[in-house]
Amino acid sequence: MDRRARLVAGSALAVAVALGGWLVAPEYVLAKLAWLAADPLRFALALLALSVVRPLFAWPTTLIALAAGYGFGLAGVPFALALIVLTSVPSYAVARKARGEGRVATAGERLAATAGDVRAVTASRLVPAPSDVVSVAAGVADVRLGAFLLGTAIGEIPWAVAGVLAGSSLETLAAGSLSAVFDPRLVAAAALVAVLVLAGPAYRHLHGEGPENEN
């Protein structure tokens, strides 16, 4: 597939995702999940299905953590984190397959080479940026799958825990509950950790030392 065809395909996919997100609002999904929560097995299967289709509607991954907290309480943290990692893969895979060799891809590869794949993905996840944007960036930068999965799992820990905590305290699921996950103090702390994660590689890079040999 040449560069023009990739651009057309990528644009069409972006339009389809935006349209899907507009037609099917998170409020509708949350209402259905609340109804399913009476049966733990059925609820777990519903969350698994949600994690598979979520990228098609560009919903935030915190929706999964919030719902897991509502259905399973604090015990839902590992399950929520696993589903967040799973739901990040499709966007990454599509971007990696369709990646070109332009300036964006080159810049992404340079960042990953300087910081190391795992560290770069981890820091990107700690920043409260849209999950699919980070996944696409990792795919364009040709980050290896194993490093992408590990970096995503580490970097999403604060958001998974915050989402589960918020969900476990709710009497009913509501779309407005998503905003409760992003406490300003948590956002600031996660951003600080992201800076610290990249500080060492950035220092070595500025002083002419070799890049990290991290996969």
Which tens digit of pLDDT belongs to each residue from 135-165?
998 998 889 999 999 999 999 999 999 999 9
- In the structure encoding, which two tokens stand for residue 44, read together? 């777990």
What is the number of structural domains in the chain?
1
Residue 215 included in any domain = no
User: Does the pLDDT value for residue 132 go beyond 80?
Assistant: yes
Domain that holds residue 132: 3-206
Task: Give residue for tokens 């040999």.
Answer: 213
Q: Which residues have CB under 8 Å from 148's CB, separation 6+?
A: 88, 89, 92, 117, 121, 135, 138, 139
Question: What pTM value is reported for the model?
Answer: 0.78
Does residue 147 fall inside a structural domain? yes
Q: Is residue 212 part of a domain?
A: no
Report yes or no on 214 lying in a domain: no
End-to-end alpha carbon distance in the chain: 27
96-112 per-position pLDDT tens digit: 887 766 565 566 566 66
Residues 203-214 pLDDT 10s: 666 666 554 444
Domain annotation covers residue 211: no
